[in-house]
Amino acid sequence: MWRDIKKGISWRAEVRNKTKYGLYYWVDNVVNPIFDNNNNIIEYLSIRYDITQKKNAEFNLLELNKNLENLVEERTKDLSNAIKDLDQQNEELLHTQN
């Protein structure tokens, strides 16, 4: 971060922080160097937005997606087993008819 800012490059990142009470929160950080008339960096401007709700929603969607993928996998196995059972029953019926 500081390497880029000292070069005069703006820096942006989503950062997870921890409160003094041990709770986590997320911020979207932007840090911009401020230049004087001689193009020397004289200070930095930092702007932060709380994005905790957004990150929590993203996490919840990822968890929901994992759960749905697991459910689809289970249902696919169940259907595959049911097809195998039906195929076996079909074979047995064909042999009893001959």
One domain for residues 38 and 68: no
Q: How many domains does the chain have?
A: 2
In this prediction, residue 98 carries a pLDDT of: 65
CA diameter of the chain = 98
Cβ neighbours of residue 49 under 8 Å, at least 6 residues apart?
Answer: 27, 28
CATH number for position 22: 3.30.450.20
Domain identity same for 74 and 37: no
Residues 46, 57, single domain; the answer is no
- pTM over the 0.85 mark: no
How far is it, in rounded angstroms, from Cα 37 to Cα 60?
A: 48
* Same domain for 32 and 70: no
Positive or negative, the CA dihedral 7, 9, 10, 11 is: negative
Q: Average pLDDT across each block of 10 residues of the chain; the chain has 98 residues. List them in order.
A: 87 96 97 94 95 97 97 97 94 84
- Domain range enclosing 79: 52-98
- The verdict on 6 and 26 lying in the same domain is yes
Same domain, 22 and 35: yes
Q: How many helices, marked H, and strands, marked E, lie in the chain?
A: 2, 3
